[in-house]
Amino acid sequence: MLKFVIRRLTYSIPVLLGILLVTFTLARAIPGDPCLAVLGERATEAICEAFFRRNGLDQPMPIQLLIYMRNFLQGDLGDSLRFHRPVMELLVDRLPTTVELGFFALLFAICVGVPIGVVSAYRHKSALDVGTMIGANIGVSMPVFWLGLMLAYLFAVLLKDTPFALPPSGRLTPGASPEPFYLVAGWYAEGEEPLGILRFFSRIHTLNAILTLNGELLVDALRHLILPALAVGTIPLAIIARMSRSSVLEVLNQDYVRTARAKGLQERVVVGKHALKNAMLPVITVIGLNFGLVISGAVLTETIFSLTGVGRTLVDSITSRDYTLVQGFTVVIAAGFVIINMVVDILYGYLDPRIRFN
């Protein structure tokens, strides 16, 4: 197993290097003068020169690349040209929104998708099965951003003044400023600068609410999360449901399932213990592959629901040519994507020994 993990880790290194190289090149290739974009049209040549020197942009490209790689390994992603703050700090600020949204979207997709798929496979060709598959087909065909807009209209306009009304924008009710858990616990005094990682977790509102036992905050955060999470989660839900269904169908026809039935095991044991365990392998891969969809979905939904996450910040920064930010965010997202895929692969190897030895 260890050998398999090491092999999989070494395999990811060239890909990560490739990502660094590609994002570096992409960011440098964005047309337009970054100096004019940041300092405005009236910046003189001398001011621009100073700007280039300060940001290391006067060095030859290969040197810039080396500096970039060294800084990246030290966790320094440079300063955002637009916000005049370290990109890392902005990431700590905005990534929690996206992580929280992605987590709940995927949770929704898995918790609903897997049972639906399993039940429709078990009741193959029943009305439920046909209905589920039609629903899944429609689900994968919907544009995320359109679904988001329609949900916002349904829950914020049509269902307004009913108990089902949900807020169509923001992460919390305007004016709410939850106290971070590290202050509540007394680890830091008011005004002290906490560790980045603590700040990161405190900005995941649902987690912060649980840690500070703040029920009101939890409900508020969840209410704001429902619509965007439904929008982002629907396509992965449909894909997961389809995959679980076909995977369970295939397993139910296997000899060992027939044997299990033949020796008189209860149906509950046959399905739960023999069929499901094996059927879940491809489902795990599909869940892993869905992270990309969740990220793409987040980019589109954050704009609709006015959430300041990485997706929205990234899209805004592209138009204002803030390329240190674009580069930093893209690299972190892509690297995260590679690492998640690696974890899924390792998990897969753990669950299915045949993979490890191939």
Partner 1 sequence: MAKVEPATLALSEDYRSANLWLEALRNLRHSPSALLGSAVIGALVIIAVFAPVFATHDPIQTMIGVPGETGRLPSKPPCIPILGCEDPQHILGLDLNARDLYSRVIYGTRTSLSVGVITISLSIFVGTALGITAGYMGGRADNVIMRLMDVVLAFPALLLAISIVTILGPGLTNALLGITITFIPQYARLSRASVLSIKEQEFVVAERALGASPLRIVLAHILPNAITPIIVQGTLGVGTAILDAAALSFLGLGAQPPTPEWGQILSESRNYLFTSPHLVFFPGIAIMITVLGFNLLGDGMRDALDPRLNRN
Q: Spell 250-276 as b/e; 16+ CB within 10 A means b.
A: ebbeeeebeebbeeeeeeeebbeebbb
69 binds partner 1 (CB under 8 A): no
In the range 317-356, which residues lie near partner 1 by CB under 8 A? 318, 326, 330, 333-334, 337-338
Q: How many CB atoms lie within 10 A of CB 88?
A: 17
Size of the site for partner 1 (CB under 8 A): 44
Per-residue binding letters, 5-44, with partner 1 (x by CB under 8 A): ---------xx--xx--xx--x--xxx-------------
The number of angstroms, rounded, from the C-alpha of 262 to the middle of its chain's C-alpha atoms is 44
Out of 150, 159, 269, 343, the residue judged to bind partner 1 by CB under 8 A = 150
157 binds partner 1 (CB under 8 A): yes
DSSP 3-state assignment of 22? helix
153 binds partner 1 (CB under 8 A): yes
Place of tokens 């400023």: 177
Out of 304, 307, 325, 332, the residue judged to bind partner 1 by CB under 8 A = 304
Residue closer to partner 1 by CB (options 188, 348) is: 348
98 binds partner 1 (CB under 8 A): no
**Cβ 260 vs Cβ 274: under 8 Å:** yes
Give the CA distances from residue 152 to residues 103, 106, 230, 274, in Å, rounded to whole numbers and listed in that order.
20, 20, 11, 42
- What's the DSSP call for residue 86? B
299 binds partner 1 (CB under 8 A): yes
Dihedral of CA 100/106/110/111: which sign?
positive
The number of angstroms, rounded, from the C-alpha of 120 to the middle of its chain's C-alpha atoms is 28
**Cβ 314 vs Cβ 308: under 8 Å:** no
Residue closer to partner 1 by CB (options 221, 241) is: 241
Query: Of 49-57, 118-126, 153-161, 198-206, which segment contacts partner 1 by CB under 8 A?
Result: 153-161
In the range 112-141, which residues lie near partner 1 by CB under 8 A? 137-138, 140-141
Q: In the complex, which residues of this chain contact partner 1 (CB under 8 A)?
A: 14-15, 18-19, 22-23, 26, 29-31, 137-138, 140-147, 149-150, 152-153, 156-157, 291-293, 295-296, 299-300, 303-304, 314-315, 318, 326, 330, 333-334, 337-338
